[in-house]
Chains A and B, each alone.
Chain A
Amino acid sequence: MAEKAILYDSSKCTACRGCQVACKQWWGLPGETTTQRGTYENPPDLSADTWVKIKFKEISNGNGGVEWIFTRRSCMHCTDAACIRVCPTGALYHDPSGVVAYNKDLCSGCGYCVEFCPFDVPRAKGNNLTGIRKIDKCGLCGDRIGNGLTPACVKTCPSGALVFGDQSGLVDVGNKRVQELKSTYPDAYLYGEKELGGLHVMYVLTQTPDVHGLPAHPDVPAAAIATDDILPPLAYALTGLAVVGLGINYLVARANANKEAEAKAKK
């Protein structure tokens, strides 16, 4: 199966938030009661019940006017995914389409994915005192794409800002669009072609990643590599050495103890 991806074109996004609604509708996620914060952006943040949202930002257009910058917030489905690396139960994994899939039954609620995600995406819901909780995030509608459908957010998007298809094909589409935009937006950039080994959600950005609120150079945190690539082999090696060492000690000490006992018996 070819790797799949979503391409989000921020220059075509009207922030209608249809994707937010379609996602909630398909997955049966409850709406959230929020308060008016003086912006059309709502809800204020991702949550265990909100897996995709559009972020609003106003910047000066340089002529005394204002330009609205929209950025999609959701799981980026990284190839080099920190969450998969740190997940202790295997609840998070890559499915054959390259999507960061999630088996909720297996989730222990540890929240490592929440803390290690370079894009601050997964959210936990439950009791933080007892630790009984589950994580939630976008799974790129694995059930829909497995049946030849497009993800719910893509299906509903009226402006063509969201497109679904083969990752390699969408890289070409995205780069072509960036070239078109360059004359109006010199900072236009295809985000996700190279980041973290390639993201399965790529963005055509009109501004630099910073302005969109995206990390310019997302990385798997060093602590994730130290904890999950270095410590386990070290632990197994040291435990093995300890067991072998103690075993040798046992055999030598027992042989000597027996010898001593025999010597005593002869006397």
Chain B
Amino acid sequence: MERVQKYTKPARVFHWMHVGAFLLLLITGIILFVPAFGAAAQDSWTRVIHRIGAVIFVLAPLIQIIANRTTAWASVKRAFAWNGDDLKWATAMPRYYFLGDESAMPPQGEMNTGQKLWYTLLLIFGPIFLVTGILMWFFKYSLPSAVFQWSVFVHDVAFILIFLMFLVHIYLGVIHPMMRKHGGSFSSMVDGTVTAEYAKSHHGKWYKEVAKK
């Protein structure tokens, strides 16, 4: 089956660093959030791992931005290049994901509407985690208790929402029957390629550009 390159190596390395940090943060966070797991957090080891995860979580995008300025900036620009097709995509999306009806799906660029949305949400929730996390880590003795208390609350709210988004992200990426038909997107995380068939149906505009080259 013909395959086309979709993600560069730096983009893949960045994604894997992000995955690693996210999973460290998720697991050590859930242990603290669900009372039934709470006892596992004894003696602070989850706190140490959560801090290591947090540092990677913050450093990875910074390294990516500095080391690959042009591609990183281009991907940010793509993520915010909203147009009329995005609205059409959003309205046609339920029929596609439930019924496999692709007829109304407008051809998408390198990032489809769902991916743009995910990118935007990350740029919103990342800083929320960062700010409330820094407040709780470094400023607990210099700020009023109320700041810490509400930081815990906001950090938890962001955690619940990002966890739900993460479930959807994993599901659409590797579990959804239509994605599996196209070989799933897991391979794109490993070697950066997707099948030409997937590129044609999901990123029509982008595939045309690539095919020209």
Contact = CB atoms under 8 A, between A and B. Distances in A.
B177 A110 contact: no
A252 B98 contact: yes
A161 interface: no
A223 B177 contact: no
Contact of B32 (A108, A114, A242): A108
Nearest to A251: B177
Interface in B11-58: 32-35, 38-39, 41-44, 46-48, 50-51
B32 A88 contact: yes
B164 A108 contact: no
A116 B146 CA distance: 8
Interface residues of B, number: 42
A131 B152 contact: no
A243 interface: yes
Interface stretch (A30-38, A54-62, A205-213, A229-237): A229-237
Interface stretch (A140-148, A182-190, A254-262): A254-262
B127 interface: no
B160 A253 contact: no
Interface of B: 32-35, 38-39, 41-44, 46-48, 50-51, 97-100, 137, 140-141, 145-146, 148-150, 152-153, 156-157, 160, 163-164, 167-168, 171, 175-178, 181
Interface of A: 86-91, 105-112, 114-116, 120, 126, 128, 130-134, 221, 223-224, 226-227, 231-232, 234-235, 238-239, 242-243, 246, 249-250, 252-254, 256-257, 260
27 contacts: A90-B39, A91-B42, A107-B42, A108-B32, A108-B38, A109-B43, A110-B32, A111-B140, A115-B148, A116-B145, A120-B145, A128-B141, A131-B48, A131-B137, A132-B48, A221-B146, A223-B150, A223-B152, A227-B153, A231-B157, A231-B160, A232-B34, A253-B97, A253-B98, A253-B177, A256-B99, A257-B178
